[in-house]
Chain A
């Protein structure tokens, strides 16, 4: 009575639908609403968006909205990605079927990441069509790097605890604050504290990536590499944890 294993590839359509409805809809709606409000209410000179002032405003709005979407998208994209099924008990139905938990969640994680990159590309293109051309590719690359970092850490946290969302937020905010303190001019941070800061989320590297790409420079590979490697390490940790530790709590 052995049959084929779960049709995960076919299930991908349902995962994409879940991503769009449950995770992407809110940041998309918020960003579209803000963009529409700004486009509709901004006071532009006679030659509209093509004027130097119009270009500057469009670019400022784009930078702000894309940063907002990237962060909100990464957090909402990974929030409770595993812990929701565990704490609500959905896993009992899902994983009594011949399907690997690791493969199921890795696929969901990839779908959410790719979905966010595609979405920001579409939204940026739309914004560019309505105003002036904006760096669509840069926004997509920033989204991808942020996803691997925030999404990777969030994935591992969601495997490890049902309180992954607050822990992820605290980790991100805490890391940002600590890195700012460490890098501030005249910082008197103790050496042991600097060692701790070194292992926290390297959020400052994502900031470097964003700044470089939005300034029209190529992707800074060193900064992107550190952020991606850190996130990827957590993805690997998530998979190992899922295989070794009881899924149910």
Chain B
């Protein structure tokens, strides 16, 4: 669905030199995938997304969405896009802003009004409908941004720092929205600094640094939420003793072991055997640090820094 072939983007500096923002990025994202993009500030995440929307032209290489040049694709089909740097004219009222954007999204005037009302209800911003954009809090404005991205059923959705400014409840709800958007014929890109969010939402996470892809991590977040994954188990007694009951486990500390990736059935079988062996389990935590570790290695930071 989305292909990048040797894509580079550099900017001209004031002194005439060239400052690379993205260097030789090659990536394929299939329909049905949810792919995360992570990286430190200035790694090139937003530049790649701007090129995918056709707002920036690459200095070298080629990008295509469904075989079309990005701008041609966007002008033909539209992309559900939530930018990191959200901005709307401050004097616009929320309802009018969504109606305007619904018209541009291709909805007929009558439907534009209905869809604006629907997404406002979905994002629970109906009470702010008549407020001007400048009067909104950061979190409510972010919800307006998410609402406008949902006005039209698009085959490509791109969210850049989607939970920035959202409270924990809306952060969780956003994850639900992305899961609901997941379809076999839809491609979703999520750029975020929040590794836990990417870990939960994405199938793969592309880690960028200095404009280059450093690593692509298969996280399988969506399936793990309902199934397989690795777990850490805290026990009341000695972890070394407990480890004998958990085949393949490694001891992490005096009272903690880490199990290898397992299906739900395998995990429960193992847990039942350990309980039958008399192991007292005090807690089970899904493994959440793999992406952090990969990220830390990819960008040359220590895992403690990332955590």
The reply to whether A96 and B78 contact each other, CB–CB distance below 8 Å, is yes
Output the least CB separation between A192 and chain B (Å). 29
Query: A95 and B55: CB pair below 8 A?
Result: yes
- B185 contact set on A, CB distance < 8 A: 1
| Chain B residues closer than 8 Å to A99, beta-carbon distance | 75, 78, 104
- Smallest CB gap from B57: residue in A: A246
Query: Is A48 interfacial (CB 8 A cutoff)?
Result: no
Question: Using Cβ atoms and an 8 Å threshold, which residues of chain B touch A94?
Answer: 101, 104
* Interface contact A90-B89, CB-CB below 8 Å: yes
Q: Is the CB of B87 within 8 A of A90?
A: yes
Query: Would you mind naming 14 contact pairs between A and B with Cβ atoms under 8 Å apart?
Result: A5-B106, A7-B103, A7-B107, A10-B112, A14-B103, A92-B85, A96-B74, A96-B81, A96-B158, A97-B78, A98-B104, A104-B104, A245-B57, A246-B57
Distance to closest chain A CB from B101 (angstroms) = 6
Complex Cα gap A122–B104 (Å): 31
How far apart are the CA atoms of A92 and B185 in the complex, in Å? 24
Enumerate chain B residues within 8 angstroms of A8, measured Cβ to Cβ: 104
Chain B contact residue count (CB 8 A cutoff): 40
Contact with B along A231-249 (1 / 0, CB 8 A): 0000000000000011110
- Cα–Cα distance between A95 and B109 once the two chains are bound (Å): 18
Residues of A within 8 A of B85 (CB): 89, 92
Structural contact, B108 and A5, CB atoms closer than 8 A: no
Q: Is A52 an interface residue (CB 8 A)?
A: no
The 5 closest A-B pairs by CB, nearest first: A96-B81, A98-B78, A89-B87, A97-B104, A92-B83
Scoring A11, A93, A99, A245 by chain B CB atoms within 10 A of each residue's CB, the highest score goes to A93
Pair A5/B53 contact, Cβ less than 8 Å? no
Residues of B within 8 A of A49 (CB): none
| Contact A6 B104, beta carbon cutoff 8 Å | yes
Q: Decide: A1 and B153 in contact? CB cutoff 8 A.
A: yes
**CB under 8 Å from chain A, chain B span 160-174:** none
Q: Which residue of B has the minimal Cβ distance to A92?
A: B83
Q: Classify chain A: how many residues form its interface, as a range.
A: 20 to 34
B3 adjacent to chain A (CB < 8 Å): no
> By CB atoms of chain B within 10 A, which of A2, A5, A92 has the most?
A92
Shortest Cβ gap from A102 to chain B (Å)? 9
B55 in contact with A93 (CB, 8 Å): no
Given contacts A92-B85, A96-B79, A98-B74, contact A10 B103 (CB under 8 A): yes
- Partner of A97 from B55, B105, B186 at Cβ < 8 Å: B105
Whether the pair A6, B105 counts as a contact (CB closer than 8 A) is: yes
Q: Which chain B residue lies CB-closest to A14?
A: B100
Q: B55 and A5: CB pair below 8 A?
A: no
Q: Which B residues are CB-close (under 8 A) to A93?
A: 81, 83, 86-88, 101, 145, 148
Query: Is A100 at the interface (CB under 8 A from chain B)?
Result: yes
The answer for the CA separation of A6 and B74 in the assembled complex, in Å, is 11
Does A41 belong to the interface (CB within 8 Å)?
no
- Residue B155 interfacial (CB < 8 Å): yes
Chain B, 100-150, CB within 8 A of any chain A CB:
100-101, 103-109, 112, 145, 148
Q: Select A7's contact among B79, B83, B86, B104, beta carbons within 8 Å.
A: B104
Q: Which residues of B contact A5 (CB under 8 A)?
A: 75-76, 106
Q: B87 near A1 (CB under 8 angstroms)? A: no
Residues of A within 8 A of B77 (CB): 1-3, 98
Which residues from A are CB-within-8-Å of B109? 7, 10
**What residues of chain A lie closer than 8 Å to B104, measured between beta carbons?**
6-8, 11, 94, 97-99, 104
Q: B55 contacts A246, CB within 8 Å?
A: yes
On whether the beta carbons of B81 and A11 are closer than 8 Å, the reply is no
A105: Cβ under 8 A from any B Cβ: no
Q: Is A92 a contact partner of B76 (Cβ separation < 8 A)?
A: no
Asked if B50 is at the interface (CB within 8 A of a chain A CB), the reply is yes
Contact (A2, B76) CB under 8 Å given A92-B85, A98-B106, A246-B57: yes
- Provide the bound-state CA to CA distance between A92 and B81, in Å: 8
| Cβ B88 vs Cβ A248 within 8 A | no
Collect the chain B residues with CB atoms within 8 Å of residue A216's CB: none
